Amino acid sequence: MTILVTGATGTVGRIVIEQLVKRGADVRALVRDPSKASFPASVNVVQGDLLDVDSLRNAFAGVSTLFLLNAVVPDEFTQALIALNLARDAGVDRVVYLSVLHSDIYVNVPHFAGKFGVERMIEQMGFNATILRPAYFISNDLTIKDVVTGYGVYPMPIGSKGLAMVDPRDIGEIAAIQLLRRDQAKDHLPLERINVVGPDTLTGNDIAAIWSEALGRPIAYGGGDTAAFEQNLRNVMPKWMAYDMRLMGERFLTDGMIPESGDVERLIALLGRPLHSYREFASGIAVAT
């Protein structure tokens, strides 16, 4: 049976494909630009995107299970609904969807609200599905490592509530495990939601302390100004997205991104190994600096 992976050339999608191939799965990757698809030879690459109905119909032919990952774009919700409807038309009813932790709490944040809407449609359309809800990606902080190392400030608006930051390697491997579990099941499995978190829930000051230890010099936390955060982001992304990220940062400050009891232990049991930590990430950056 064939597993179709969308978002295949992205941070998580590449890891999902790597883990599926490692486990002997028949994998098909949906990509916009095949020239960027540096996958193992066994992966069947198909060109298309989530707004191209004809290419999606072609991609779904012979597929048993779908990994649905949507980028943060203005029409993210539309893309997801088109993909889900075409999947159902093609007889694909086994899905693993990449949502986000607290999608049902951060209701004013556009990309969170969009993902929660997709979750509800998956449930109402009767898919046999696992909904993964990852926390903030540790790898997002690659974008600000030069600020930390060059200016001695950790600038992300993390606040004092804490975020259970997660490594994309853990997300991708958990997704692959769930895809194979769905794909290989003889009977339909009930819908399930899994919070995908890191081993530690860290505040802004906690992260600054980790950087201080890794670099051997004081690093301050300076991420409380979400207006400045938005202005800085406008230099590297569209204005609507920078504002979306600002709204997310404001919810980090007021609500945090807190795992539920037992989440960490459940993920360790699924993986059969410890989760990757932020300390590991910062230490790796420090060594390379």
Instruction: Render pLDDT for 165-174 as a digit per residue (tens, 0 to 9).
Output: 999 999 999 9
Can you tell me which residue has the tokens 């001695």? 152
User: Does 51 reside within a domain?
Assistant: yes
Distance CA 36, CA 10 (A): 10
- Token pair for residue 128? 């046999």
> Parallel, antiparallel, or unpaired: how do β-strands 63-68 and 44-47 relate?
unpaired
pLDDT at position 142:
96
pLDDT at position 215:
97
Distance CA 222, CA 134 (A): 25
Note the pLDDT tens digit of each residue in 35-68.
888 999 999 999 999 999 999 999 999 999 999 9
pLDDT at position 224:
87
pLDDT at position 119:
98
User: Does 284 reside within a domain?
Assistant: no
Distance CA 156, CA 148 (A): 10
Number of domains in the chain: 1
* Whether pLDDT at 1 is above 90: no
pLDDT at position 249:
97
User: Does 251 reside within a domain?
Assistant: no
pLDDT at position 264:
98
CATH number at residue 83: 3.40.50.720
pLDDT at position 261:
97
Distance CA 62, CA 25 (A): 14
Residue whose C-alpha is closest to residue 179's, from 69, 80, 266, 58:
69
Residue whose C-alpha is closest to residue 181's, from 96, 272, 91:
96
Note the pLDDT tens digit of each residue in 136-154.
999 999 999 999 999 999 9
pLDDT at position 35:
87
Distance CA 4, CA 46 (A): 10
Q: In what order do the strands lie in the sheet with 63-68?
A: 44-47, 26-31, 2-5, 63-68, 94-98, 128-134, 192-196
User: Does 225 reside within a domain?
Assistant: no
For all residues of the chain together, what is the average pLDDT?
96
The alpha carbon of residue 73 and the mean position of all alpha carbons in its chain are separated, in whole angstroms, by 14
* Mean local confidence (pLDDT), 172-188: 96
Read off the pLDDT band of 101 (50, 70, 90): very high
pLDDT at position 189:
94
Note the pLDDT tens digit of each residue in 221-276.
998 899 999 999 999 999 999 999 999 999 999 999 999 999 999 999 999 999 99
* Mean local confidence (pLDDT), 78-90: 97
pLDDT at position 244:
98
User: What percentage of the chain has pLDDT greater than the value 70?
Assistant: 100
User: Does 211 reside within a domain?
Assistant: no
User: Does 212 reside within a domain?
Assistant: no
Region of poorest pLDDT, from 7-11, 165-169, 205-209? 7-11
Instruction: State the pTM of this model.
Output: 0.96
Distance CA 226, CA 106 (A): 16
User: Does 57 reside within a domain?
Assistant: yes
Residue 30 structural domain: 2-137+166-196
* Mean local confidence (pLDDT), 190-212: 98
**3-state class (DSSP) for residue 81:** helix
Distance CA 55, CA 235 (A): 34
* Mean local confidence (pLDDT), 111-125: 98
User: Does 11 reside within a domain?
Assistant: yes
